[in-house]
């Protein structure tokens, strides 16, 4: 557990190196300090790469392709896999993406390592929240590599696909992964260590899903209620042990959202496989779909209806939960069962929660046009508390190096004349020694005054920089459970709720259970 902080512990009053030393357990801080020099060593090389390659077309390309690795893209794309009947493939993608978001976020909040320094780097992005996260490792790289590799493994075991199409899919998967991974370096969002470790994590997760995913699927489809309950409890345990970051970071929120998705998928798939609405071919809990029988119009209507239901559920469920959960949390807190997290306000400390809190994973319907129109941004300078502290640490190092060089320069030292070299007797020796001591005292006083003035200037710069960083919004303890329930519901609607509605309103692939 991280050391407790007092309520009046202002960020702006802390030294950059003390900030993390105070807020992190000793062993985590020690690990962070071992990796930090690698992050700093990369900066000039990253800046050289960016400066030599940058152009407007590449800026636009890498900023747009980065959106294909975001949580918002996958939250909209994944339900479509299930609605088109690709159940096993959809489950595999959910597992690798959810585990990728969770474990990369776990590592980010564990190490609290900054993104590459800006300046000299430019941050090119279309996301409003990516720069607020820590840098190590790259979640985009983890997602891109895991999705591409898992897709290629599925492709390898599907001999019915013609060779020419197979080549196209391989090229697309490789282009997808390399564009996102290299794009994170090009856009100044990550360094070499970030994308390498993120990519390795993606490979591990894709291979793990390929080996163990079928066993998990069989357990859920053919097992009793014990299967989804056990998986839900395991997921909640992982959410509970997510490390506390030193600064406000959305990594935990993203991990909770995808944890909720997995819970909803497992519960929904388990129950849907027991109903007469799903097909058993090619696997249990397959949503009935055939383009020949459904047609283009009905397929399009399925997409519109399904996405609309997801957004409506999100709006309604979130508003209801944020209204009625705080009293429950206050009751739980009074009996001593509260589980506090840093940067989240306890329910006993507020009266109500705003009904429309921002959500970067799936934004409200009203924000979609603005998100679509939002262009790429090119920013220079700190964008988060972690950025600011790293910039201040850089300035502190430069300042100390400058002071050290001045202290060692010949002009800054007074010549030392040994009193033993005097030839005018003890009286002259004593006079010389007294003058020398007085001169040294005056020199020390002058140096102390200069250092104090430099220190005051530095502290003012520190306060000014931290005051310019956009303060994170107030976060409430009920948001964690709200996000879990909302995204569990989104996943349930995707794999069971909307498929049943498709059949009931005539958008299905025939009579329910016809392929059973």
Residue 514, SS3 per DSSP: coil
What is the number of structural domains in the chain? 1
Query: What is the structure's pLDDT at 512?
Result: 45
Give the residues of the chain that fall short of pLDDT 70: 1-17, 71, 127-132, 335-340, 355-389, 392, 394-473, 510-516
| Percentage with pLDDT > 70 across the chain | 70
Compute and round to an integer the Cα radius of gyration of the chain: 29
Angstrom distance (rounded) from CA 176 to CA 194:
18
Instruction: Say what the alpha-carbon torsion angle 407, 411, 413, 419 is, to the nearest 10 degrees.
Output: 170
* pLDDT in the model for residue 416: 46
pLDDT of amino acid 49: 92
Given a contact cutoff of 8 angstroms between Cβ atoms, the answer to whether 131 and 387 are in contact is yes
Q: Which domain holds residue 176?
A: 43-380+474-504
346 within a domain of the structure (yes/no): yes
* pLDDT of res. 341: 72
Please report whether residue 12 resides in a domain. Answer: no
Q: Which residues pair with residue 379 across a beta bridge?
A: 123
Q: Is residue 329 part of a domain?
A: yes
- With contact defined as beta carbons under 8 Å apart, do 109 and 252 qualify? yes
List beta partners, residue 286: 279
φ, ψ of residue 24 in degrees (nearest 5):
-110, 150
The pLDDT, as a whole number, for residue 144 is 94
> Helix, strand, or coil here: 379?
strand
Structure tokens at 137: 């490792």
Residue 451 within any structural domain of the chain = no
CA distances from 276 to 38, 284, 498 (A): 57, 11, 15
Within a domain: residue 183? Answer: yes
For 352-404, how does the pLDDT look when each residue is reduced to its tens digit (9 = 90+)? 777 666 665 565 655 555 555 555 666 666 666 666 667 767 666 666 666 56
User: The tokens of 226 are what?
Assistant: 């014990």
Backbone angles phi, psi at 190, to 5 degrees: -145, 160
Residues β-bridged to residue 124: 378
Active site residues: 140, 190
Q: How much is the pLDDT for 419?
A: 45
With beta carbons less than 8 A apart as the criterion, state whether 288 and 498 touch: no
Residue 460 in any domain: the answer is: no
Instruction: Give the separation between CA 58 and CA 63, rounded to whole angstroms.
Output: 8
Residue 457 lies in a domain: no
| Burial class of residue 211, CB neighbours in 10 A (0-12, 13-18, 19+) | exposed
Residue 32 included in any domain:
no
């Amino acid at each position: 557990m991280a050391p407790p902080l007092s309520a009046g512990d202002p960020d702006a009053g802390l030294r950059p190196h003390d900030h993390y030393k105070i807020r992190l357990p000793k062993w985590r801080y020690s690990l962070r300090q071992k990796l930090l020099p690698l992050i700093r060593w990369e900066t000039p090389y990253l800046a050289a790469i960016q400066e030599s390659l940058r152009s407007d077309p590449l800026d636009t390309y890498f900023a747009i392709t980065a959106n294909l690795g975001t949580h918002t893209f996958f939250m909209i794309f994944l339900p479509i896999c299930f609605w088109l009947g690709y159940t096993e493939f959809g489950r595999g993608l959910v597992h690798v993406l959810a585990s990728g978001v969770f474990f990369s976020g776990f590592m980010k909040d564990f190490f609290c390592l900054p993104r590459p320094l800006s300046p000299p780097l430019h941050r090119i992005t279309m996301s409003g929240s990516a720069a607020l996260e820590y840098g190590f490792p790259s979640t985009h790289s983890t997602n891109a590599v895991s999705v591409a590799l898992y897709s290629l493994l599925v492709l390898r075991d599907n001999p019915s696909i013609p060779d020419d199409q197979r080549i196209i899919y391989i090229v697309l998967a490789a282009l997808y992964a390399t564009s996102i991974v290299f794009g994170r370096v090009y856009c100044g969002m990550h360094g070499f260590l970030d994308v390498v470790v993120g990519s390795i994590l993606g490979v591990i997760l894709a291979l793990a899903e390929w080996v163990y995913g079928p066993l998990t699927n069989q357990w859920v489809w053919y097992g009793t209620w014990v299967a989804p309950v056990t998986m839900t409890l395991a997921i909640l345990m992982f959410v509970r042990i997510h490390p506390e970051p030193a600064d406000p970071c959305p990594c935990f929120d993203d991990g909770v959202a995808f944890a909720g998705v997995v819970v909803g998928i497992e519960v929904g798939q388990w129950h849907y496989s027991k109903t007469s609405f799903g097909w058993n071919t090619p696997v249990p809990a397959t949503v009935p779909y055939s383009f020949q029988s459904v047609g283009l119009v009905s397929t399009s209507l399925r997409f519109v209806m399904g996405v609309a239901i997801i957004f409506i559920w999100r709006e309604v469920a979130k508003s209801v939960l944020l209204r009625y959960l705080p009293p429950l949390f206050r009751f739980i807190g009074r009996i001593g069962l509260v589980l506090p997290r840093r940067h989240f306000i306890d329910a006993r400390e507020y009266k109500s929660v705003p009904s429309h809190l921002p959500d970067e994973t799936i934004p409200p319907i009203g924000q979609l046009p603005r998100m679509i129109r939002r262009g790429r941004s090119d920013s220079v300078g700190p964008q988060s508390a972690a950025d600011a502290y790293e910039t201040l640490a850089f300035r502190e190092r430069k300042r100390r190096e400058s002071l050290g060089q001045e202290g060692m320069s010949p002009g800054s030292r007074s010549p030392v004349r040994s009193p033993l070299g005097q030839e005018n007797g003890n009286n002259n020796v004593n006079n010389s020694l007294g003058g020398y001591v007085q001169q040294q005292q005056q020199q020390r006083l002058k140096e102390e005054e200069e250092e104090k003035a430099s220190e005051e200037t530095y502290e003012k710069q520190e306060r000014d920089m931290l005051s310019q960083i956009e303060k994170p919004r107030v976060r409430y303890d009920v948001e964690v459970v709200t996000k879990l329930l909302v995204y569990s519901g989104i996943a349930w609607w995707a794999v069971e709720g909307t498929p049943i509605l498709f059949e009931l309103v005539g958008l299905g692939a025939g009579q329910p259970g016809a392929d059973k």
